Structure 1
Amino acid sequence: MVEHPHVIPWPENLPYDRQAITVPGTKRPGQTAHYRNAIFGLIDLNTPNAFKTMPEIFDAGLQVSRDRPFLGHRPILSKGPLKFANHFTWETYGQVDVRRRHIGSALHSFFKSGELGGGEFNTIGIWAPNRPEWQILDIVAQTYGMVSVSLYDTLGVGSVEYITNHAHLSVLFVSQEHISTLLRLSPQVSVLKMIVSIDNLDPEQKRIYSEWGKAQGLRILELRELEALGKQHPVQVIPASPEDVVSICYTSGTTGNPKGALLRHKNLAMAITSNMHGLSIADDAVLLSYLPLAHIYERICELCVVAIGGKVGYFTGDPLRLLEDAQILKPNFFPSVPRVLNRVYQSAMVAGATPGLKGNLFRRALQTKLDRLHTTGGVTHALWDRLVFRKIQAVLGGNLRLVSSGSAPISPDVMDFLKISFACEVTEGYGMTENCAACTKALPNDPTSSGTVGPPQPVNEIKLVDVPEMGYTAEDKPNPRGEVCVRGLNCFSEYYKDEKNTKATIDPEGWLHTGDVGEFDSVGRLKIIDRVKNIMKLAQGEYVALEKVENVYGGSPIVAQIYVHGDSLQAYLVAVMIPDPVQFASLATNVLGKPVVAEDIPALSAACEDARINAKVLSILVKEAKRSGLKGFETVKRLHLSMVPFSVETSTMTPTMKIRRMDAYNFYKTEIDALYALGEPVGSKL
């Protein structure tokens, strides 16, 4: 392991009893004092070895790993049927350096000549799934004075049209399947002048696309052509300033048009610097990339690996092959999200429920390791790791050293299980696009951190502001509560061309108002407990934060997705729930007295209609509500079960997997209205 100057190690003894400090003299009426990281303090651009601009990050990786593997993928062996190689092929840092110079030189020439451009920034759009070229194109933008704009691969045409026009994308880099969509859309996106296919096209495809594009006033190129043009006319890398804009990152709102967070070099660079503090992966780290690169969380994780000269292996793009990809790649670093980690937990717990010696061994191993975790923070055990947990570790390649969970809350029970089963650092963090996903992060080996998102990251300070209409105040006992507000060099300064939302999000003192309600515990760890938004009033006058209720129920293993609905003319909540197939199959088998398997979707759909099964699932949710301290009026009283998931395709979810509330309601309106027509169950009060 090479000692990297940008990685700041943890102190030998971590102060778990004092993880954040409050800044003297900053307490005001209606808010807490400012909380900062107790170990590293508050860092800024003058901090030694701090990254100030994005080119410095790629240069740092290039310096230590020029001839070592950087970006990898599994080659396609055949398209019919689709078959991938059982190995990854790699491009080195040096090879990527050459490619980014060729692509950057060609684009620079096009912008300089006026063939591209015309907007406020030299923006380039990327509309493709995770792949090596995605990262290369982002590095091109960072190092050649351009501004990258990422489009989720699952975006609908309406959002593509809006973002293309809003960000003035004169060039879009796309995977082949998006070319015809853009050509049909071209009359609505007159700013678009060039489409670059990341994939190589066969001659007939190229001819058809080029003629179609010519008729629309669009130039169609392949990425390899662009690289050849740049090779002929090289241009040196263009220096960047910390204040320069480097990316417009669009957040997929649950209502209205996406908002474009304007990110400057200093915002992203300082977020990476912050994550270098206590980074526990070596310079030969291998990250498995499957979360959308258009999401800030995945980008930050990959950039951390770039900064230390590590490797990034991209999955095939097929979620059903993710475990296969992991077993071939054997990653050290697995950035993930609760919906994937919950499946690991659920599958293991079903296996552990088996009768006989096997089940007894699992339960004994589980309890022994949980006791050790809660006592000392230790996550390894020589005997039980070898006998029991090695099989769970092998599911993701058997070589994990760091697993991170972000983007949504995860149950403390699941976090504890993941820590002891993976036997490595499993950490939960909290962040958002607007603060470059670097707000808080739990400390490693903290015996009681599960359920919290840890102390402030070194790059920012946090305060809690009263939310009186919800009963949260800085004076609450035993812990202060309020809306989480963040300030630091990682925080954005504006939404692009959107003064109204900017003013609603950033106050005159530079504090970013997150819309999340948090609580700081006695040792300085933050816990997210509610949302300021999506509050509705029930008929009897009680206020309910629907996302908070959904997060509570979402912690139950039986729940894959849940949409909680309230009507101001009704006195109680109802929900539409999509059960986890593995858990639901087990429950249905027990209730029906006949085998039901997770793969038999028709049988699971039939089980959804069974009143006995509905009652059993509802009783599980009631127990979850009681365990989490939900009030009676916050508890779901009637439930509709369905095996038809909320999805981007049905417009009921955003590309970042947040439920679009109005669309979800309209999708299940008939079922929801039918639940209310039944009336509130007798004796349903908690």
Structure 2
Amino acid sequence: MPLVNEKIVAWPAVKPYDKQAVPVPGTKRPGETAHYRNGIWGLIDEHTPNTLSTVDQIFNDGLKAGKDVPFLGERKLISTNPLKYATAYTWITYGEADLRRRYIGSALHTLFQKGELGGGELPTVGIWSMNRPEWQLVDIATAAYQKVSVSLYDTLGNDSVEYIINHAHTTVIFSTSDHIPTLIKGKVKLPNLKMIVCIDKVSRDASKLLGQWSHSQGVIFKEFAEFEAYGKANLTDPIPAHPDQIVSICYTSGTTNVPKGALLKHKNLALATQNNMYGLELPEHATLLSYLPLAHIYERFCELATMAIGGKIGYFTGDPLRLLEDAQILKPNFFPSVPRVLNRIYQAAMAGGNVPGLKGKLFNKAVQTKLEKLNATGETTHALWDRLVFRKIQAVIGGQLALVSTGSAPISPDVLNFLKIAFSCDVIEGYGLTETAATCARTWPGDSTASGTVGPPGPTNEVKLVDVPAMGYTSEDKPNPRGELCIRGANCFSAYYKDEKNTKEAVDSEGWVHTGDVAEIDSVGRVKIVDRVKNIMKLAQGEYVALEKIENTYTALPIIAQIYIHGDSLQSFLVAVIIPDPVQLSSIASKVLGKRISPTDASALAAACEDPAINKHVMSILINNARQNGLKGFETVKRLHLSMVPFSIETNTLTPTLKVRRKDAYQFYKKEIDALYTLGESSKL
């Protein structure tokens, strides 16, 4: 039974799939489309009645579900040797969280009032931790006491962390124990740091040692319980926020330069949360599985929406290899995810189903039948095939899913449609940026032709397209207008912190955020991302290519775990570095080489990557994919290097949000890439 909540706005009895967004009369200008708004709800802002306008309201709404309702959960660590976690989740209730946010917030407020913390332009509070209940407790405390949270990516790298702490003038950091030595050792480069609060429970000896070491460097060290006790002794009522107050500086990880700090106001995050409440369909006290980084805005706003309806948030153990184990214990209803993870689920399901004999025939019949029904009606369930075939796939994520969302990167329509029929629930694709609080557009449930688009703008936003003449995209294109996607609304930021140059490039004088993405708006008002203004380069013969767009085309191939496409303005063709999926590579290698290669045999897989016959076979897969997706000849990869050495955060070739750092990726594989160009363009292609 769906949860009754005053902020939830139900879908109309009949969704107008033919008018999902509509142009606003009189808004079209030369070189631009008209402004498009949501076809059902139009445009809302912080002044719309019964609408969230500040972040502290979000927790207060959740608290209305009941003080004894479970809120934040985790699997407790039982032992470190061997590593073992509890087989059930332990929960903090909404009532307990309310008390603890008051203790944390009161301590912060008192220390800032006394001048023992602060001194910068904004009262910033740093959080350096992986996802866990304490992260959320600190964040809701800062929102309730007019402080500004600053998220530090758990794997951001010491240089970027140092930059952010100094740039935001952060004087107190809530940190897990593993990061505290880095902070203390780096104090000489962190002149503003005054206090470290340890989130973890540590032994008395470790606490004493960390306290003495911190003191020697001029930093106060406190345990989390000690900090909360100080707040309890200096208890102050929460201080109501106002919509235009800064609540967070959210730093973008960046693929090239230093991080940029998007200033997010209370109304930005609150309206992004409210946007999710339009058409939200989840069971009472719905459970979200949290594994995407909380310092990344996408996960954060999904958790805020769960909080707003009095739902539960269960945190994964922190080990990606235990994610499915966590899911099977938690049994989530809401699974915010990304294509990287969903592609793996899809590939595993297809590999498990496409087998010889009766099992394979049943699987293929089930897929065909449900896809036909999905394409005809938009429905995702089937009484027979769900019970016989798809129940097993659903059980992998706990068997109780009601909503799966995907964002941060494009996902193949084929993968998306398969997941809809496999999970038998709404699987929606959304689009947003850090600068828009992760919000802009999302697909509608039951829309049989939505895959491949990101849906219409939500009620918090209006969008328009602006011509990109250099790339041949215009608002007059047929059958649908195309151009750079621009977004405006109460969820959109207005400035990067202390960065006027980048602010002016991102936000114009009318408040439009220029995304850098090229989009098309189809005949029913849905947004489709088709290209990227940034990361375009010109080949030697003058053709412009968008490298990310081409990478996204190839990414859905099962053989590809990671891909980096490189272009050189002195060369006439593109080359690629591909990290193959071990299971797929072992299958190809076994077939091509005529002997069984195990997916766990690292040395055999590495040798297969060097084999010219296997390289040729993978290249043929890429060629067919390029043809099927309509890539032009100069957009097609002409040479490739296979490697089992992945791009990673540790080698600085991936950002914390798992995007390739192009410059660093090239340097990492420079020798191999340069060697591909010496071979020249293959005449056979």
The match for 2:88 is 87
Shift of 1:90: 0.2
Q: Which moved more, 1:576-585 or 1:643-652?
A: 576-585
TM-score, L = length of structure 1: 0.99
Shift of 1:398: 0.4
Deviations 1:146-199 (A, max 9, x none): 000001100111001100000011000011100101111110001000011000
Using the alignment, how far apart are the partners of 2:395 and 2:361 within structure 1? 21
The match for 2:39 is 38
The match for 1:407 is 408
Using the alignment, how far apart are the partners of 1:92 and 1:597 within structure 2? 47
Q: SS where residue 165 of structure 1 aligns?
A: helix
Shift of 1:45: 1.7
Q: SS where residue 374 of structure 2 aligns?
A: helix
Deviations 1:25-82 (A, max 9, x none): 0111101000100011111122221001111100000012321100000011101111
Q: SS where residue 65 of structure 2 aligns?
A: helix
Using the alignment, how far apart are the partners of 1:129 and 1:587 within structure 2? 37
Amino acid at match of 1:429: G
Deviations 1:201-238 (A, max 9, x none): 21111121111111110011111100111111101101
The match for 2:115 is 114
The match for 1:562 is 563
Q: SS where residue 482 of structure 1 aligns?
A: strand
Q: SS where residue 36 of structure 1 aligns?
A: strand
Using the alignment, how far apart are the partners of 2:361 and 2:322 within structure 1? 31
The match for 1:477 is 478
1:274-673 paired onto structure 2 within 5 Å? 274-673=275-674
Shift of 1:446: 0.6
Amino acid at match of 1:465: V
- Kept in 1, the 8 Å contact 2:554–2:625? The answer is yes
The match for 2:676 is 675
Using the alignment, how far apart are the partners of 2:117 and 2:265 within structure 1? 22
Shift of 1:353: 1.9
Shift of 1:596: 2.1
Shift of 1:246: 0.1
Shift of 1:403: 0.3
Shift of 1:439: 0.4
Amino acid at match of 1:601: A
Shift of 1:5: 0.4
Amino acid at match of 1:668: Y
Using the alignment, how far apart are the partners of 1:557 and 1:430 within structure 2? 24
Deviations 1:516-556 (A, max 9, x none): 00001111111101100111111111111111111111121
The match for 1:159 is 160
Using the alignment, how far apart are the partners of 2:191 and 2:482 within structure 1? 49
Shift of 1:580: 1.6
Structure 2 gap ranges (5+): none
Using the alignment, how far apart are the partners of 1:683 and 1:453 within structure 2? 37
- Kept in 1, the 8 Å contact 2:46–2:243? The answer is no
Shift of 1:480: 0.5
TM-score, L = length of structure 2: 0.99
- Kept in 2, the 8 Å contact 1:346–1:583? The answer is no
The match for 1:23 is 24
Amino acid at match of 1:145: Q
* Count of residues in Structure 1 that have an aligned counterpart in Structure 2: 684
Using the alignment, how far apart are the partners of 1:144 and 1:159 within structure 2? 27
The match for 2:131 is 130
Using the alignment, how far apart are the partners of 2:369 and 2:630 within structure 1? 28
The match for 1:253 is 254
Q: SS where residue 161 of structure 1 aligns?
A: helix
Amino acid at match of 1:287: L
| In the alignment, structure 1 residue 68 sits paired with structure 2 residue 59 | no
Identity of aligned residues (%): 65
Shift of 1:277: 0.2
Shift of 1:599: 2.4
| In the alignment, structure 1 residue 190 sits paired with structure 2 residue 213 | no
- Kept in 2, the 8 Å contact 1:350–1:583? The answer is no
Q: SS where residue 332 of structure 2 aligns?
A: coil
- Kept in 2, the 8 Å contact 1:346–1:582? The answer is no
Amino acid at match of 1:36: R
Using the alignment, how far apart are the partners of 1:184 and 1:516 within structure 2? 41
Shift of 1:352: 2.0
Using the alignment, how far apart are the partners of 1:247 and 1:233 within structure 2? 24
Shift of 1:628: 1.1
- Kept in 1, the 8 Å contact 2:246–2:266? The answer is yes
Q: SS where residue 577 of structure 2 aligns?
A: strand
Using the alignment, how far apart are the partners of 2:204 and 2:662 within structure 1? 45
Q: SS where residue 64 of structure 1 aligns?
A: coil
- Kept in 1, the 8 Å contact 2:455–2:527? The answer is yes
Amino acid at match of 2:433: M
Q: SS where residue 65 of structure 1 aligns?
A: coil
Shift of 1:15: 1.2
- Kept in 1, the 8 Å contact 2:156–2:253? The answer is no
- Kept in 2, the 8 Å contact 1:347–1:582? The answer is no
Q: Which moved more, 1:664-673 or 1:281-290?
A: 281-290
Shift of 1:387: 0.7
- Kept in 2, the 8 Å contact 1:472–1:481? The answer is yes
Using the alignment, how far apart are the partners of 2:299 and 2:140 within structure 1? 15
- Kept in 2, the 8 Å contact 1:108–1:144? The answer is yes
Structure 1 gap ranges (5+): none
Shift of 1:372: 0.3
Amino acid at match of 1:258: P
Amino acid at match of 1:256: N
Using the alignment, how far apart are the partners of 1:580 and 1:547 within structure 2? 20
Q: SS where residue 162 of structure 2 aligns?
A: helix
Using the alignment, how far apart are the partners of 2:91 and 2:628 within structure 1? 48
Using the alignment, how far apart are the partners of 2:415 and 2:337 within structure 1? 13
Using the alignment, how far apart are the partners of 1:498 and 1:673 within structure 2? 36
Shift of 1:602: 2.2
- Kept in 2, the 8 Å contact 1:550–1:562? The answer is yes
- Kept in 2, the 8 Å contact 1:250–1:260? The answer is yes
Amino acid at match of 1:401: A
Q: SS where residue 186 of structure 2 aligns?
A: helix
Shift of 1:593: 2.0
- Kept in 2, the 8 Å contact 1:103–1:226? The answer is yes
Using the alignment, how far apart are the partners of 2:304 and 2:90 within structure 1? 20
Using the alignment, how far apart are the partners of 1:434 and 1:214 within structure 2? 38
Amino acid at match of 1:332: N
- Kept in 2, the 8 Å contact 1:149–1:248? The answer is yes
Shift of 1:256: 1.2
Q: Which moved more, 1:344-353 or 1:309-318?
A: 344-353
Deviations 1:438-457 (A, max 9, x none): 10000001111011000001
- Kept in 2, the 8 Å contact 1:4–1:283? The answer is no
Shift of 1:619: 0.9
Amino acid at match of 1:311: K
Q: SS where residue 448 of structure 1 aligns?
A: coil
Q: Quick one: structure 1 residues 149 and 570, their matched pair in 2 at CA, closer, same or farther if it must change by over 3 Å?
A: same
Amino acid at match of 1:616: H
